[in-house]
C-alpha cells in the first residue's frame, strides 16, 4: 500500500513538474531580462524591506491548510440544482502560507446526487483539471512560480442536482492528510522538488437533507358530487382519493418512495366523473409529471378497472423539470418504445373512474387533464 502511494505521489510530482517546466520555457527570456535589469535594485532594497508578518512558507512554519465545502442555498426538492463552493484556506493557524498548487477528491452518493458541472475558482489560473466519476470527483490546479496564493478563497464551484428525497447524505473530502496522494496543498520554498505538502485537515463534511414528506391520511373523503366531464376537464391530483404508499408532498405532487412492480401493491389515486351523451367519445389523458431519471419515470394507469402489468405501464419521458405529457401504454412495446403513444381511451356516457397506481419511486404527478379527440 505504501509503495502504491509513493508511486502515485511520484507520478503527480512528475506531472506537475513537466507542465511547470513547459510553461517556464516560454518565460525564460523575460525572466532573465527582468533579473538583469532589476536584481541589483532588489538587493539594494532587501535590507530595508521586512517580510509581511502574516505570510509564511510551509517550509519555515507549522501552518495548517484546509478545504471546506460550503452550500449557500440547500436544495428543498428532487430535481433541484444547487451549488457547492469548495473553499481553500491556507491560514489555518492564524498565519497564511504561500501555496502554488492544490488538488482535492470529494465523494458523494450517486443514487441521490448528480454532478452537473465543475467550474474553476480564482486561486490558481495556470492549470485546471477536473474528473467526474460515478461516486466522486477530482479537481487539480496550480500556478507557475512566482505567482502564488495565500488566504481563504473559492478553489472551485460544483453544481449538483438531487435525484431523490434524501433523509440524510453528505459530501466528504477523501484521503486528506500529509501522506495521501489526493486532497493536497503544495507550498513554495520546498526542499523536495518544489512540492512540499503541509498538514491538511478536513473542516467538516457537508450534510444534505431533503426529508421524505410524511404520508397523508389513508384516503381523502370522496367528493360529495360527481363532476361532469366536458370537452376538457382539469383535476388537481390532490383532489382524488389517495391511498398509501402514495403521499401528498408539500409541493402538491403525489408520489411514493418505493418501487412496486405489482400494480395492486402501489399507491392508488382515484378520480371519478360523469360524462353525458354529447361529450362521449375518445379521450387523451395529459398529466403534469416529475420524472427526473430512468429509475423514477413510470406509473400504472387505466379507466374503470385496475391497471395490469406490463400492458398498462406508462413509461414517462425523463426531464429535469416537471412538464405535461400525454399518457401512453407500453402494451407489447418496451420501456423506451411504448406501443400506444399516446393512448386513446373510449369513454361512453355515464360515470367513470380514472385509476393511477404507483410503480417506480419518486415519480410525481400534480395535474390531470382529460382532452377529447376530434376526429
Element (H, E) at 116: strand 113-120
Say how many domains are in the chain. 2
Domain annotation covers residue 41: no
Cis peptide bond prior to 146, omega within 30° of 0: yes
Domain annotation covers residue 279: yes
Domain annotation covers residue 15: no
Task: Tell whether 63 and 203 lie within a shared domain.
Answer: yes
Under the banding of pLDDT at 50, 70 and 90, the label for residue 119 is very high
The pLDDT score that the predictor gives to residue 144 is 82
Q: Which residue has the higher pLDDT, 26 or 371?
A: 371
Domain annotation covers residue 202: yes
C-alpha to C-alpha distance for 241 and 271, rounded to whole angstroms: 7
Backbone torsions φ then ψ of 167, nearest 5 degrees: -65, -40
Task: Tell whether 240 and 323 lie within a shared domain.
Answer: yes
281-295 tens-digit pLDDT? 999 999 999 999 999
Task: Tell whether 174 and 249 lie within a shared domain.
Answer: no
Over residues 251-276, the mean pLDDT reads 91
The two counts, helices (H) then strands (E), for the chain are 1, 27
The pLDDT score that the predictor gives to residue 190 is 44
Least confident of 272-276, 291-295, 310-314: 272-276
The pLDDT score that the predictor gives to residue 166 is 62
The pLDDT score that the predictor gives to residue 202 is 43
Q: What is the pTM of this model?
A: 0.44
The pLDDT score that the predictor gives to residue 266 is 94
Least confident of 181-190, 230-239, 352-361: 181-190
Least confident of 94-98, 169-173, 189-193, 215-219: 189-193
CATH no. for residue 159? 2.60.40.680
Cis peptide bond prior to 342, omega within 30° of 0: yes
Percent of the chain with pLDDT over 70: 65
Domain annotation covers residue 259: yes
Over residues 182-193, the mean pLDDT reads 54
Task: Tell whether 205 and 236 lie within a shared domain.
Answer: no
319-330 tens-digit pLDDT? 999 999 999 999
Nine-digit cell string for 21: 517546466
CATH no. for residue 367? 2.60.120.260
Residues whose CB is less than 8 angstroms from the CB of residue 277 and which lie 6 or more positions away in sequence, other chains included: 349
Task: Tell whether 266 and 312 lie within a shared domain.
Answer: yes
C-alpha to C-alpha distance for 35 and 24, rounded to whole angstroms: 15
- Strand ranges inside 218-280, DSSP E: 228-229, 232-236, 241-243, 247-248, 254-255, 268-275
What SS3 class is residue 46? helix
Task: Tell whether 60 and 205 lie within a shared domain.
Answer: yes
Domain residues for 241?
228-372
Closest CA to 242 of 281, 216, 269, 217: 269
24-65 tens-digit pLDDT? 555 555 444 444 444 333 332 322 233 332 233 333 344 467
Task: Tell whether 181 and 81 lie within a shared domain.
Answer: yes
> Is 70 exceeded by the pLDDT of residue 365?
yes
Q: Which residue has the higher pLDDT, 213 or 145?
A: 145
What is the total residue count of the chain? Answer: 375
The pLDDT score that the predictor gives to residue 356 is 97
CA angle 333, 246, 347 (to 5 degrees): 55
What Cα–Cα distance (Å) separates residue 80 from each residue in 201, 299, 357? 30, 22, 25
Amino acid at each position: 500500500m505504501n509503495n502504491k502511494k509513493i508511486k502515485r505521489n511520484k507520478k503527480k510530482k512528475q506531472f506537475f513538474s513537466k507542465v511547470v517546466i513547459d510553461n517556464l520555457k516560454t518565460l525564460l527570456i523575460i525572466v532573465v531580462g527582468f533579473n538583469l535589469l532589476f536584481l541589483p535594485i532588489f538587493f539594494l532594497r532587501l535590507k530595508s524591506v521586512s517580510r509581511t508578518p502574516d505570510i509564511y512558507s510551509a517550509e519555515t512554519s507549522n501552518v495548517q491548510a484546509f478545504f471546506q465545502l460550503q452550500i449557500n442555498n440547500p436544495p428543498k426538492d428532487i430535481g433541484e440544482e444547487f451549488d457547492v463552493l469548495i473553499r481553500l484556506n491556507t491560514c489555518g493557524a492564524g498565519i497564511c502560507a504561500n501555496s502554488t498548487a492544490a488538488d482535492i477528491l470529494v465523494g458523494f452518493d450517486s443514487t441521490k446526487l448528480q454532478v452537473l458541472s465543475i467550474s474553476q475558482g480564482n486561486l490558481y489560473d495556470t492549470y485546471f483539471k477536473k474528473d467526474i466519476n460515478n461516486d466522486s470527483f477530482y479537481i487539480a490546479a496550480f500556478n507557475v512560480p512566482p505567482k502564488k496564493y495565500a488566504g481563504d478563497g473559492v478553489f472551485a464551484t460544483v453544481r449538483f442536482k438531487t435525484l431523490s428525497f434524501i433523509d440524510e447524505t453528505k459530501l466528504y473530502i477523501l484521503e486528506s492528510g500529509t501522506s495521501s496522494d489526493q486532497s493536497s496543498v503544495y507550498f513554495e520554498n520546498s526542499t523536495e522538488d518544489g512540492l512540499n505538502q503541509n498538514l491538511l485537515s478536513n473542516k467538516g463534511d457537508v450534510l444534505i437533507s431533503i426529508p421524505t414528506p410524511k404520508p397523508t391520511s389513508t384516503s381523502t373523503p370522496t367528493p360529495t358530487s360527481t363532476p361532469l366531464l366536458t370537452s376538457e376537464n382539469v383535476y388537481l391530483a390532490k383532489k382524488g382519493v389517495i391511498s398509501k404508499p402514495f403521499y401528498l408532498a408539500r409541493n402538491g405532487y403525489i408520489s411514493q418512495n418505493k418501487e412496486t412492480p405489482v400494480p395492486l401493491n402501489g399507491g392508488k389515486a382515484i378520480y371519478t366523473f360523469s360524462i353525458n351523451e354529447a361529450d362521449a367519445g375518445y379521450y387523451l389523458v395529459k398529466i403534469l409529471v416529475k420524472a427526473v431519471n430512468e429509475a423514477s419515470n413510470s406509473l400504472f394507469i387505466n379507466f374503470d378497472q385496475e391497471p395490469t402489468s406490463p400492458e398498462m405501464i406508462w413509461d414517462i419521458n425523463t426531464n429535469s423539470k416537471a412538464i405535461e405529457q400525454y399518457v401512453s401504454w407500453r402494451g407489447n412495446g418496451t420501456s423506451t418504445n411504448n406501443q400506444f403513444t399516446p393512448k386513446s381511451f373510449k369513454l361512453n356516457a355515464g360515470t367513470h373512474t380514472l385509476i393511477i397506481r404507483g410503480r417506480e419511486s419518486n415519480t410525481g404527478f400534480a395535474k390531470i387533464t382529460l382532452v377529447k379527440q376530434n376526429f
